[in-house]
Amino acid sequence: MIEHCKEKYGLDFLAIRDRLQLDFHGTVRLINFIRQKVHEGATLPEEITAADLEDDRYLKPVLDDDALILCLDDLPEAGKPAAAAVPELSQFLSNAGANGAKTADAPMVDSLLLKNAELQAELEQLSKQFSNYRLAVQQTLDQRWQADEDTGDTKPSASSDSKDSKDEKPKDDSAYYFESYAHNDIHEVMLKDAVRTDAYRDFIYNNKDLFAGKVVLDIGCGTGILSMFCAKAGAKQVIAVDNSDIINKARENIFNNGLDKTITLLKGKMEEVILPVKQVDIIVSEWMGYALLYEAMMPSVIYARDRYLDPVNGLLVPSHANIWLAPVSDQEYLADHITYWRDVYGFDMKAMQDGIFADARPQISPARTVCGTPSAFRFLDLHTIKAEDLVFTAKWESTFKQSDSADQLLLDGFLVWFDMFFARSRVDHFIVPTTTAAEWAPKTDKNEERVAFTTGPFGTETHWKQVLMLLDKTKIKETEVVDGKKIAGEITYATAEGHHRGLTLKVTWGVEGQKQDQTWKLH
């Protein structure tokens, strides 16, 4: 294979290895660097340098069970052609035997025999060394990419088209994302969020007829709580997928509760695992992030929906979402977090205000700070939405509401939150709510209450909080809050540059036609 690459493509693999003086790990990096470039359809540099191989991602095999990596100990030693010395000896001894070796040749024979013995000993030593190297690199990969141990569960296979529909990038912010979900604290916060966890539990337990005997896929299973809800509700099989190390604890949780016969766990990205079934009946997932789309997990749900969910009767849990915006006036927050820096124990620290208005802030905002009617600017039917629909610009409109305070209020920013809805069927004649979920409790034809929850300022606090976007009044004209006056504009959701799980939010607004705009990052 190496000779073929050299003759047909001009790629002298051994020459590159020897020129860069690569050890075993370096050679592994070189192999994966070349394979990754070919996979991406990119052209190899005219001269591969050590700097090209520095990224640790090149320790991860591009091909599963890469035969070249497994056979590195079969390659010739640096600077020597393959099997050079031993054939030379064999040829000499063959000739000597055919002609009848002369006594004068005996010293040469002894010398070659000695050289052969030395080379054999060196080869044996190198074989042991490479075996140790191979074990070391395997252990390194196991630690870095948390390779599953063989537990008897159905194991995932890598797909050829790799959350994520997302090609691997030189600097993948997904690594930190998945690592963050490996710790207990974040799961404790989510499980103790009764608004969140009760909604899933209530929908699953109150609709056991939907789950009985069905195959369920749980995307981002975390501790396994939703999978266990589904199993208890009578699901025939639950397939739980997570790319974080938390799946190891989920496996224990599921075993300790006697549900391991029903629930199968797969470690990996949703786009990269292969399920042990061709189709599922229900997808359950808690994928929502700040402002709904932060963390960019919804594309994984869409991928799984399109590939595995029954296209006719398949159900997504939850099924619909609504995103809201409202103007806010909060002088108390500004005093505590913005103007505070102008007098810190008698010192002016205005330098700390640099860039302070550029970031959107997840926080709990009191309902009293909302100074206008909330506007629902984006309704998502999760059964039909496409990945490209998650980047959008939408119109919004609000009417200012003056508080009881005698002081004149100023527009200080905007607040964004979302509501979630759980419908029994994708053809359940779902009505787009015109109020927030906290005020919305319609009945189905069977007089059953649908499950819904809000993350807004008018409902019970959740771990999602709301997202506050403060106005930089050094760059924009102040807007007075005048009771009954209309304010309207647009809001844009876009992927944050350099952080594909983050969000860039841009809001335009205007009163009586005077348009202004500002952009924030959520990361």
Helix axes 106-145, 85-99, angle to 10 degrees: 150
DSSP label at residue 389: G
- Structural contact between residues 426 and 335, judged by C-beta atoms closer than 8 angstroms: no
Distance CA 33, CA 423 (A): 47
Instruction: Give burial (CB, 10 Å; 0-12/13-18/19+) of 503.
Output: buried
Round to the nearest angstrom and report the end-to-end CA distance of the chain.
Answer: 46
- For the four alpha carbons of 68, 69, 71 and 77, in that order, the dihedral sign comes to positive
Contact between residue 213 and residue 234 where contact means Cβ atoms under 8 Å apart? yes
Q: How far is 162 from 482, CA to CA, in rounded Å?
A: 52
CA distance 247 to 218: 12
Answer for the pair 177, 289: CB distance below 8 angstroms, yes or no. Answer: no
Instruction: List CB contacts of 51: < 8 A, sequence separation 6 or more.
Output: none
- The span from the CA of 201 to the CA of 143, in Å, is 35
Nearest to 196 by CA among 405, 436, 14, 459: 459
CA separation (Å) from 369 to 329, 337, 404, 491, 516?
5, 15, 12, 20, 21
Q: Which residue has the tokens 């509700």?
A: 233
Q: What does the H/E/C string look like for 330-357?
A: CHHHHHHHCHHHHCECCECCHHHHCCCC
User: Which residues are registered as beta bridge partners of 380?
Assistant: 321
Nearest to 234 by CA among 216, 255, 257: 216
100-110 per-residue burial string, b: 16 or more CB within 10 A, e: under 16: eeeeeeeeeee
| Cα–Cα distance, 209 to 246 (Å, whole number) | 30
Active site residues: 286, 295
Q: How many whole angstroms separate alpha carbon 66 and alpha carbon 1? A: 13
d(CA 239, CA 216): 6
Tell me the one-letter amino acid at 107.
P
Q: Helix (H, G, I), strand (E, B), or coil: what is residue 81?
A: coil
d(CA 77, CA 123): 9
Residues in the chain: 523
426: closest CA among 330, 307, 315, 333? 315
Hey, which residues does 326 pair with through a beta bridge?
A: 415
* Separation of alpha carbons 214 and 280, rounded Å: 8
